[in-house]
Amino acid sequence: MLQPHLLVVADTTLGGTQGPDLTRYLVVCGGLLLLVGLLGFAFRKLVTRTLAARAAQRQMQVMDVLPLGGKHKLCVVRCYDRTFLIGVGEKELSQIAELDPVIAPARETPPGKTELHAFSKVLERLRGPSAAPAAASTTNLSREGLLG
């Protein structure tokens, strides 16, 4: 009837072909975990950049903080072009003074080419009669005025 060597072969081939492939399952799970991690990292970077851009556009900034001990401190806060000294306590906030606008950073644009050219003309006029063109322009000063 059945030969003994056929039974041994049948037993050894059944174990490898039955059931799910564990290697493929682990690779798919690892790939999904890696994808979720990358998506979380990208989302965090995007949110961080967005919040930093919004914070840079704000017009209210804390310029300096001086701790006084405990939960009390002094804060210099700039709101648009005004600067305030604020006292901060454990449960209260009070404005102490409005500081000079000199503390706020200047937002002036550098002078353009036309302004620099006009300034150089004024300097030439004020140097005196050292050059012939400057001497000719000093006669015009008396009629037009200093900045004329």
Q: What is the pTM of this model?
A: 0.34
Mean pLDDT of 86-99: 88
Examine the domain organization and report whether 73 and 84 are in the same domain: yes
Specify the pLDDT at position 37.
96
Examine the domain organization and report whether 44 and 72 are in the same domain: no
Residue 139 lies in a domain: yes
Examine the domain organization and report whether 46 and 76 are in the same domain: no
**Number of domains, the chain:** 3
Element of type H or E holding 133: helix 132-144
Residue 4 lies in a domain: no
Predicted confidence band of residue 79 (pLDDT cuts 50, 70, 90): confident
Mean pLDDT of 3-13: 53
Residue 8 lies in a domain: no
Instruction: Residue 78: count other Cβ atoms within 10 Å of its Cβ.
Output: 19
Full domain range(s) for residue 46: 21-58
Tokens of 87: 């006292």
Residue 137 lies in a domain: yes
* Pair 78, 103: CB distance under 8 Å: yes
